[in-house]
Structure 1
């Protein structure tokens, strides 16, 4: 009888056939080969099934699962089917570098429960920027709640037993787009053995359609997440810390809008942040930059 793979890879997908082919190719090219991949297909209407079949690799299985618009539900289906000691997440539009699993498994085998590596964020124009996560002291249960998310889904490999202990992703509709952040918080409540790799080992591909609406939805979901974890963690925080964290959420939304040149909308978020937490110097600086951007004549 064959031994089960050490790493199970969960790949949710919906009508991303060309990108799924690219993602799976980077899995097959891993220097570490003791894995199986579970493609959780939300009944795609493109040639997703043909893409998976073309690899002709018994380690890659495809299951049809209707997630009703909640990607966390697809990931939970993959977690339920996982047989590996460790579980890696890969969104179907993201990619890994060849040594990703090898380097992550080495750290997990030394006793860590979760490892997350740096990655390149690639926008639709092909422009990239390096994004690092962690460090470990920033990814404690307390700091994840009150200082923000420091972990990325496609850059993470985690001990499967720990994932199942916390029952995977919360699929509540109000948490859509922050269900991964919620998971890291709940994992950190169970373990402080989180490790980070500063070397980029993958690419996160950003799709910026309807940016403003997505930022608004993410902000709403982040505020819902904070209310969930504030109520569950009353023993060590006070009103001041909560106000500061909510202000950070509005500030983050403003920064995202500013980067996409939505200066008026950014100013609205910064203003809301200032009402909640008026003693932040960086907020005043951000307001000034958005004002400059708003009044700057647009190039023809």
Structure 2
């Protein structure tokens, strides 16, 4: 099976070489690597084109500033059966694709795979695994997504055919990963790998309150739409809304 790795980038010339290297170092090499550059004005293009690897497909366009639209552009350009998301500042374990391919092969019912992560500032000093569990699982996980026990990190791998029922990322959201995961989980079991296969970079600058507000607003809209379509109960909607409201207040006034 062929993977289509999709990376969205903007002015990450100082970091993206490490990300690309972690992709091309994969033990499984049947993949294309699609990089969508959202109008960078630094040396990102130069860095990408320094890699002499025909699997890398670089597309630069005018600034959109919408991750959902950019991700959809990448998906539409893809030719692989499996879509893998990789942020332009994160790093992969060298056997990530190989291990995930084994998961898909062992059970045809698996459509979506996520896994554990480790944060880092210095890549030589990884933090402890984010999720505490040491057990893989394959189960109905909608309630876990609703209550933030499974988070929409940009690390997932899913079958492209899943989009026939789930559809693309919702372009009404700046970052539609939460909405996409909720829609996937409302109709599919999720496979979780307890091993850390992505290392996510922590940036010194804090995420702005505006970004947090966008995230919470998207969550409300997404779960409300699921409730209207009877994918979740209104009790689940209100329960999730209360939890995220408390978290929003805590973050906003901290």
TM-score range, shorter chain: 0.7 to 0.9
Task: After superposition, give the CA deviation of every residue in 1:159-193 in whole Å (9 maximum; x if it has no partner).
Answer: 01113543310010xx334x11111222234433x
Which is higher, the Rg of structure 1 or of structure 2?
1
Paired residues of 2:115 and 2:196 also in contact (CA < 8 A): yes
- Rate the CA distance shift 1:169–1:208 in 2: closer, same or farther, 3 A: farther
What corresponds to 2:217 in structure 1? 220
Pick the aligned partner of 1:79 from 51, 54, 75.
Answer: 75
Question: Taking structure 1 as the reference length, what is the TM-score of the superposition?
Answer: 0.74
1:215 is displaced (CA, Å) by 2.5
Choose the corresponding residue for 2:191, options 192, 195, 220: 195
TM-score normalized with structure 2 length: 0.86
Q: How many corresponding residue pairs?
A: 247
- Match of 1:148? 148
Q: 1:231: which partner in 2? A: 228
Instruction: Give the distance between the partners of 2:204 and 2:239, measured in 1 at CA.
Output: 28
1:18 maps to what in 2? 14
- Higher relative contact order structure (alpha carbons within 8 Å, sequence separation ≥ 6): 2
Change (3 A) 1:204 1:48: same
Q: Cα deviations across residues 61-107 of structure 1 (Å, max 9, x unaligned)? A: 10123462111111101110111111100010111010111101110
Unaligned runs of 5+ in 2: none
- Alpha-carbon distance in 2 for matches of 1:101, 1:210: 31
> Could you tell me which residue of structure 2 aligns to residue 252 of structure 1?
247
The farther-off stretch of 213-222 and 69-78 is 213-222
Distance in 1 separating the partners of 2:88 and 2:35: 9
Q: Give the 3-state SS of the residue equivalent to 1:55 in structure 2.
A: coil
CA distance in 2, matches of 1:169, 1:144: 20
Which residue of 82, 89, 94 maps to 2:85?
Answer: 89
Separation in 1, partners of 2:212, 2:187: 30
**Does 157-166 or 131-140 show the bigger shift?**
131-140
Over aligned residue pairs, what C-alpha RMSD do you find? 2.6
Helix, strand or coil for the counterpart of 2:154?
A: helix
Query: 2:114 touches 2:192 (CA, 8 Å); kept in 1?
Result: yes
SS of the counterpart of 1:128? coil
Find the residue that maps to 2:129 and give its secondary structure.
Answer: strand
Superposed counterparts of 1:34-183, under 5 Å: 34-66=30-62, 68-110=64-106, 111=108, 112-123=110-121, 128-132=127-131, 135-137=137-139, 139-140=141-142, 143=143, 146-148=146-148, 150-172=150-172, 175-177=173-175, 179-183=176-180
More helix by share: 1
Contact 2:116/2:130, CA 8 A, preserved across alignment: yes
Distance apart, 1:233 and its partner CA? 2.1
Pair 1:29–1:165, CA change in 2 (3 A):
same
Deviation at 1:202, TM superposition (A): 1.2
User: 2:23 is matched with which residue: 20, 27, 35?
Assistant: 27
Match of 1:271 in 2: none
